[in-house]
Amino acid sequence: MGLKNSIPFILLLLLFNTAASFGQSPDIQKLEKAVGIVEIYDYNGQYIGHGSGFMISSDGTLVTNYHVIDGAHSLKVVLEENGRKVKYDVQNIVKGSKSKDLAILKIRNIQKKQFSYLKISQQPLDSSFSYS
């Protein structure tokens, strides 16, 4: 598994780890509210690409892949709200790890909005877990 595929893998671990602890399958409709598109812009403000990410807190903190933001001059996060797409500017990159291909972003949340997010389990992963 390459690093570029790490976000979907992490997302699946979070979803199924949480669902398994409650003995149920994840509700995809609720999970989609926490997933957004990260748009990348160059120095001239031109759109140059995108990637995905997911919210990890209600205040607008999002996880994405480092390769998505690498080299970007500015970023926006697109979230679906009540059936329409809403764009938010990224305020700053909180942390990034090129070697792990992960980045944490904070969106500009002037209105102090509460966003849907995915809870990260505090329990360690089962060491017998494997994937192919």
Q: How far apart are CA 10 and CA 25, in angstroms?
A: 16
Total domains present in the chain: 1
DSSP state of 94: E
The residue range of the domain holding 15 is 3-21+35-107
| Residue 58 within a domain | yes
Here the CATH number for the domain that contains residue 57 is 2.40.10.10
Q: Using one digit for the tens of pLDDT, what is the confidence trace for 98-125?
A: 999 999 999 998 888 899 888 877 766 5
| Residue 126 within a domain | no
| Residue 121 within a domain | no
Q: And the tokens for 29?
A: 């409709």
Q: Using one digit for the tens of pLDDT, what is the confidence trace for 15-57?
A: 555 544 445 556 666 678 899 999 999 999 999 999 999 999 9
Q: What is the pTM of this model?
A: 0.73
- In the chain, the amino acid numbered 120 is I
Q: What angle do CA 113, 118, 121 make, to 5 degrees?
A: 135
- Cβ proximity of 58 and 117 under 8 Å: yes
